[in-house]
Amino acid sequence: MDKVLVVGASSELASEVLPILVESGCRVGIHYSSNKKAVEQYEDKKNVKLIQNTITSEADCKSILEEYVEWADGINGIVIFIGNISCTCHWSEITSEQLVNEYLSNAVYPFMLAKYAYHFMKGTNAGRILFISTASVKRGGGSTTIGYGMAKAALECAVKRLARDSALDGILVNAIAPGFFDTKFNRERKKLSEEDVAQRIAMIPLKRGGNKKEIASCVMYMLSEGAGFITGQVITVDGGDFL
């Protein structure tokens, strides 16, 4: 892949992917919403295009793809890191509005990004679409993050459909489902204390959380020639957490 767009590149899980892509020499689109500090180190790289856009509509998704494709003269890879947990109440208290917001951030907008990426990739007989899901889908999500889990389950459904329908165009569609990674996202959005983190890690067979380099390695493999016969899959990276 020599033209790769990373959406949600300011996220912690994306942080180890960016230097590998940039150093590879491919034309890298780096999308961020408001946290420019996380990506500004790449701003002066000739093979990098920073794209700022706070996604709140389908039009924003289309705009991001158009801006990148115009600059790179095409696209053959997209990694979609965007996602959010905006509600941490118990599932018995969640409102329909809160549930819709979780679906927009974690399923609808990622799907729309993939849809527009597909349109630009179609006809090239090559392309990779890679979503980020969550391993917790396998056990029904969390009691206080049910909207996030439900939305990611919907996203995994899209992986299967898009992979089947895009195969004849040479476009591979997959997802990576991280387990527990000790990130700011997990601690702050899920409101985890040090005790919560320790208890969560104790549940993992490997007795540790994942690290960002392990996600980066998985992403880079899924973009590589070696993964050319893999499509419609959700690759779980969780240390055996849900065995």
Catalytic site residues?
Answer: 148
Q: Which of 53, 60, 223, 36 is nearest to 126 (CA)?
A: 223
**Residue 242 contacts residue 135 (beta carbons within 8 Å):** yes
Q: Which of 77, 79, 51 is nearest to 63 (CA)?
A: 51
End-to-end CA distance of the chain: 33
Helix (H, G, I), strand (E, B) or coil at 106: helix
Tell how strand 3-7 and strand 77-80 pair up: parallel
